[in-house]
A and B are shown apart, each in its own frame.
Chain A
Amino acid sequence: MVQALGRLKESASQTAGPYVHIGLTPNFAGIAGVYERDLGTAMVNDKTRGERIWVNIRVIDGAGSPLKDALVEIWQADAAGIYNSPSDLRGSADPNFTGWGRLPTDMTTGECMFETIKPGRVPFFDGRKMAPHLTVWIVARGINIGLHTRMYFSDEETANAEDPVLMRIEQRERVSTLVAPRDGNIYKFDIHLQGINETVFFDI
């Protein structure tokens, strides 16, 4: 016998279920008066620095149908590439930018639309700069553990080509599943849960 490591086990994940809105976006669910506003609906204000953009996200199942009961969270750096988090010790983030957003997909169209800014570049752990990206986290009925992916920007070709994470993707044709095309000020990011265009998901 040897000494015990004395570690606990992480609580096991369970699906968020079809009524995730009750807890995380109650006003959207029609439960008024408990919280003033749903958390994560406003990432920016008039003073936020950076290029103002909109990110349109859909989550599509293996039959090609957009999920109408998904909940999407995004986490991103500010325009200077600093995260609004105590764990980012590199300096102060833009106080007018939360970096974190949460929206349900529409019950009719399956779309959600984040108003945010384009993030700056953040260093990888070896010092190389990553391309601008959003972390995207999805939960829904039928998803047993939250899915973690990234959205990159189609008009950042140079940065994307040298991004250390995108370079890790062995099947090069899959890189495009993480790159959202730009149309005006809107980036459209379709996340495919399974099938021929399956989005790259991370264990990170």
Chain B
Amino acid sequence: MTNSRFPANRTPEIGAFFQRDRNWHPPAFTPAYKTSVLRSPQRPLLSLDNTLSELTGPVFGHNILGELDNDLIHNFAGPGESAIGPRILVYGRLLDERGIGVAGALLEVWQANAGGRYRHKKETYFAPLDPNFGGCGRTITGEDGSYCFRTIQPGPYPWPNGPNDWRPAHIHFSIFGHGFAQRLITQMYFEGDPMIWRCPIVRTINDRRAIEGLTAALDMEATIPMDARAYKFDIVLRGRRSTLFENRIEGN
């Protein structure tokens, strides 16, 4: 996490981030998603403009990455083996709200296997583990904010919320931007999945367009024939103000 690992041709930006639209994001209290009832703050959030503590954030170097970190088909598999399931590429760009690519940003993903089973000690679903699938991956975005993972398409899985609730197929994404205020965790869904609109977690989001923004498009043009289909998923982080006309004290 040093300046030398930052793309050399970019001057770090130091402007404050655009405020979050908390009508677009899910609210904390969403009783149809039962766990949120006791885990949601009831008092209003305290608002203030960004300080250095939020404008700055950790930056990770490529030295943390192993060769297979963005290949979930192989990164847990035995020699000569690979995970079972529909082979897919998940690719896209990490942008900010101004449409500018966010370079050098760490993306981390996790997911269930093709049968909807997570490799986790707290998971009790009886669909079997895949001995060649772990379910975690990570990558760092390129100069234009681009990224790519290779994985298998996860299956839907049941969860103890309502008596018969099933999650749509989804991949969890954790994203770092350039400032800690951009820190975001979200989920990616798949085009055409009829489970999306039935899911209490998806429906914590009140705006249909925001849900569509989390739904990856099938991309036959990026598909590798006879190998892996492709899904395109662009992620958007908070934009930031230009400091051109801001009369701020040195250091901010």
Interface of A with B (CB < 8 Å)? 6-24, 26, 29-31, 33-36, 39, 61-63, 67, 69, 73, 75, 77, 83-90, 92, 95, 98-100, 107, 122-127, 130, 133, 135, 137, 139-148, 150, 165, 168-169, 193-195, 198-204
Partner of B54, one of A12, A135, A139, A195: A135
Partner of B236, one of A8, A16, A87, A200: A8
* Residues on A with beta carbons closer than 8 Å to the beta carbon of B9: none
Bound: A30/B118 CA distance, A: 12
The answer on a CB contact under 8 Å between A14 and B119 is no
Determine if B230 is an interface residue (Cβ-Cβ < 8 Å).
Answer: no
* Residues on B with beta carbons closer than 8 Å to the beta carbon of A137: 180, 183
Check A89/B120 contact, CB under 8 A, given A9-B209, A62-B39: no
Partner of B38, one of A11, A62, A73: A62
Partner of B53, one of A14, A67, A130, A146: A130
* Residues on A with beta carbons closer than 8 Å to the beta carbon of B158: none
* Number of residues of chain B lying within 8 A (CB) of chain A: 99
The answer on a CB contact under 8 Å between B39 and A143 is yes
Check A7/B239 contact, CB under 8 A, given A144-B27, A169-B46: yes
| Number of A-B residue pairs having CB atoms within 8 Å of each other in the complex | 291
Question: In the complex, how many angstroms separate the beta carbon of A72 from the nearest chain B beta carbon?
Answer: 12
The answer on a CB contact under 8 Å between A90 and B251 is yes
* Residues on A with beta carbons closer than 8 Å to the beta carbon of B136: 22-23, 26, 31, 34-35
Partner of B46, one of A7, A34, A89, A168: A168
The answer on a CB contact under 8 Å between B214 and A14 is yes
* Residues on A with beta carbons closer than 8 Å to the beta carbon of B138: 35
Question: In the complex, how many angstroms separate the beta carbon of A124 from the nearest chain B beta carbon?
Answer: 6
Within 186-206 of B, Cβ neighbours of A (below 8 Å) are at 186-187, 201-202, 204-205
* Residues on A with beta carbons closer than 8 Å to the beta carbon of B45: 201-203
* Residues on A with beta carbons closer than 8 Å to the beta carbon of B239: 7-8
Bound: A201/B110 CA distance, A: 27
The answer on a CB contact under 8 Å between A69 and B108 is no
